[in-house]
Amino acid sequence: MCAGLAIMVGLDLKGLGGTWARGAALSVLAGAMWGGYTVLLRLWQIPIVEGTLAVTGGSAIIAVPLLAITASETLLVTPSSAIALQVFMQGLVGGIISVVTLIGAARSLPVHVSALLPVFTPVVALGIASVALGAIPNTAEMAGTLIIAAAFMISLGILNRKKWLTARTATGHS
């Protein structure tokens, strides 16, 4: 899955700055934290509404004042339609709907499945951009998406290499 993500975002070692290793480590840490969060949601059986309110409310209490302090000049010159779109996408879709969905998934799916769901965020974003904005994925994005999907299916046992090789041998393929 990590290889798929690297390909999807276009890992170009020549164009990376001096802080790329720190950025990559933080991305891995963020993914691990989301995976851990998902496992804990399942373990603790957090109610969907209360869990969503706690996460989104706590995030808003921290993020809104920080955004006001650090980006006030940018926000003043940004068109209100762009701000409204970001509030809708980041607040409603990313902040509320995604958390409700993740909590629901953590409660109903096996732990090993729900813990891997956050890895699909870029894949889903690519799909939304393709449908909603007409953005055509490039070759690296498509390859990364396929690798992520294959890794996810392998982790679920859907793509079992041993079964696949046995089936190919039984049909006369080698």
Pair of tokens at residue 158: 């859907």
pLDDT at 159 over 70: no
Q: What are the pLDDT digits (tens) for 9-67?
A: 666 556 666 676 777 677 778 777 877 777 787 788 878 778 778 888 888 888 888 88
CA nearest neighbour of 155 among 122, 119, 120, 116: 116
pLDDT of residue 23: 72
Contacts 24+ apart (CB under 8 A), 51-57: 51/99, 51/103, 52/96, 52/99, 52/100, 52/103, 55/99, 56/95, 56/96, 56/99
For 139, the domain range is 2-10+19-170
Q: How many domains does the chain have?
A: 1
pLDDT at position 22: 77
The pLDDT, as a whole number, for residue 170 is: 59
Cα-Cα end-to-end distance for the chain: 27
Q: Which tens digit of pLDDT belongs to each residue from 72-100?
A: 888 888 899 988 888 888 888 877 887 78
- pLDDT at position 53, please? 82
122 vs 145: CA distance, rounded Å = 8
